Chains A and B, each alone.
Chain A
């Protein structure tokens, strides 16, 4: 079976590889490029643990062939953090307890990053809709929604000391 020579830019770094037609993008990222922050959770395009940005568009990388990504600019969770540690969204997840086991988190972060790029001030309903292709089994989503809101507020330059998750007592 034919091999294809492809070049992809991942988190700003160009990589060239000879790949089989059937190699899935997620396996290129994880197994060939050793970027294991992108996860695999379902195989049937439901869970979104494998979400990466392909030319800025959040995409389930288990349902894209590596060869389809030839020439693309790919963003993974490893590329989110800036020089000062964490992006506003990563910080939001930490401040609002938006993660527990951490397995769905990279996918959530990539979807959330794309959402905030397109919509600087999403409503709760918009956030819930945007992350509806990313399954989380630990958090019940409440704090993921808050994490995105935190990042939106911070990026808007609003008071970054958004209140942390406190119970409604």
Chain B
């Protein structure tokens, strides 16, 4: 398996990279190359030019500001796995990184590459949807910020223009107005959030049969203030399961203790409020209903829809547990 001929360019700065993308015909941006090079070797893609951005300084950091966790274009999956702030505060990201390809691929593969590739079978897009991430595209005219909902256009298609590079992903911090699961609601005191990504794969290194990312923010009464649900490989593009999010939002999924818990219980009994399991199941079913999978060697349409349901329920349960465990759990 030998790649076709192309010209390779390794710009030393972002400006240089953008200039190259402007000048060159049929140029493709490469960071870790772990998706692009296999496609070249299979001769499924044959760009005339490859612009390798991996030598550009300053794009490889993970930093947390008051509002965002900022992941640079060259941050590898391994770096994400080893990041303390990710482990402590964004376990859903750690979940996601850990199930991508295999450890050797993750040493080179980047988060931004995983997202920019636009492959609905990639894992990060669903998580980014659950987290309401923002994509920072840098082009000849500077930066523009694209909300995750507007980013994925279809099979291998994204909002990135040919001359643009995905230079950063911004994830709202759990404590920020974004509240982890987005929305514009102001954060109230005592909020807690947690998330989880669960992937069903046939073996290590496989694309997902299905994957579900769930991020929950609970208010101080234990009710879901905001919910984010993203799904992997269940349609032509990554899917945000908005109905499932609506089902979860406002629900109290975990009982409070003590006197307030007893009052809750009485009220729920009188109003015949559905219990937590029923709500989670309803959300999971709503997630399944949002999918549009095709049958392949990974399973039938019915199987995949059901896996969307099962994985969403499990990811929701895990997200809840984490929301109730200090420091992300």
| B38–A22 touching, CB < 8 Å | no
Stretch at the interface among A55-63, A75-83, A87-95: A55-63
Say how far B32's CB is from chain A's closest CB, in angstroms. 9
| A64–B7 touching, CB < 8 Å | no
A68 at the interface (CB under 8 A from B): yes
Instruction: For B2, list chain A residues within 8 Å (CB).
Output: 22, 24
Say how far A126's CB is from chain B's closest CB, in angstroms. 10
| Cross-interface CB contact of B8 among A43, A57, A65, A130, cutoff 8 Å | A65
A13 at the interface (CB under 8 A from B): no
Question: Residues of A within 8 Å of B, CB-based: how many?
Answer: 30
| B8–A44 touching, CB < 8 Å | no
Question: When chains A and B are docked, how far (Å) is the Cα of A67 from the Cα of B3?
Answer: 14
Given A21-B7, A22-B2, A63-B108, A133:B103 Cβ within 8 A: yes
| B107–A57 touching, CB < 8 Å | yes
Most buried by A among B38, B54, B104, B205: B104
Q: Mark A35-51, 1 if CB is under 8 A from B, else 0.
A: 00000000111101001
Question: Residues of B within 8 Å of A, CB-based: how many?
Answer: 29
| B205–A46 touching, CB < 8 Å | yes
Say how far B26's CB is from chain A's closest CB, in angstroms. 14
Given A43-B41, A68-B33, A68-B52, A21:B104 Cβ within 8 A: no
Question: When chains A and B are docked, how far (Å) is the Cα of A140 from the Cα of B95?
Answer: 27
Instruction: For B1, list chain A residues within 8 Å (CB).
Output: 43-44
In the complex, what residue of chain B is closest to A50 when comparing beta carbons? B104
| B5–A1 touching, CB < 8 Å | yes
B37 at the interface (CB under 8 A from A): yes
| Cross-interface CB contact of A45 among B7, B78, B105, cutoff 8 Å | B105
Q: Mark B171-182, 1 if CB is under 8 A from A, else 0.
A: 000000000000
| A134–B104 touching, CB < 8 Å | yes
Say how far A147's CB is from chain B's closest CB, in angstroms. 18
Q: Mark B37-70, 1 if CB is under 8 A from A, else 0.
A: 1101110000000101010000000000000000
Say how far B282's CB is from chain A's closest CB, in angstroms. 35
Say how far B122's CB is from chain A's closest CB, in angstroms. 14
Say how far B5's CB is from chain A's closest CB, in angstroms. 5
Question: When chains A and B are docked, how far (Å) is the Cα of A97 from the Cα of B8?
Answer: 43
| Cross-interface CB contact of A63 among B5, B6, B38, cutoff 8 Å | B38
B149 at the interface (CB under 8 A from A): no
B4 at the interface (CB under 8 A from A): yes
Instruction: For B108, list chain A residues within 8 Å (CB).
Output: 57, 59-60, 63-64
| A133–B101 touching, CB < 8 Å | yes
Question: When chains A and B are docked, how far (Å) is the Cα of A21 from the Cα of B8?
Answer: 5
| A64–B3 touching, CB < 8 Å | no
Instruction: For B103, list chain A residues within 8 Å (CB).
Output: 58, 111, 129-130, 132-133
| Cross-interface CB contact of A64 among B10, B37, B78, B204, cutoff 8 Å | B37
B242 at the interface (CB under 8 A from A): no
Say how far A115's CB is from chain B's closest CB, in angstroms. 9
Say how far A108's CB is from chain B's closest CB, in angstroms. 11
| Cross-interface CB contact of A24 among B3, B5, B6, cutoff 8 Å | B3
Given A65-B37, A130-B103, A133-B104, A4:B8 Cβ within 8 A: yes
Question: When chains A and B are docked, how far (Å) is the Cα of A133 from the Cα of B100?
Answer: 11
In the complex, what residue of chain A is closest to B52 when comparing beta carbons? A68
Question: When chains A and B are docked, how far (Å) is the Cα of A59 from the Cα of B106?
Answer: 9
Instruction: For A70, list chain B residues within 8 Å (CB).
Output: 10
| A65–B33 touching, CB < 8 Å | yes
B102 at the interface (CB under 8 A from A): yes
Say how far A141's CB is from chain B's closest CB, in angstroms. 12
14 contacts between A and B (CB under 8 A): A1-B5, A4-B8, A21-B7, A22-B6, A22-B8, A24-B3, A43-B38, A45-B38, A62-B41, A63-B38, A63-B105, A68-B10, A68-B33, A68-B54
Residues of B within 8 A of A (CB): 1-8, 10, 33-34, 37-38, 40-42, 50, 52, 54, 78, 101-105, 107-108, 204-205
Residues of A within 8 A of B (CB): 1-2, 4, 20-22, 24, 43-46, 48, 51, 57-60, 62-65, 67-68, 70, 111, 129-130, 132-134
Q: Which 4 A-B pairs have the closest CB atoms?
A: A133-B102, A21-B8, A43-B1, A133-B104
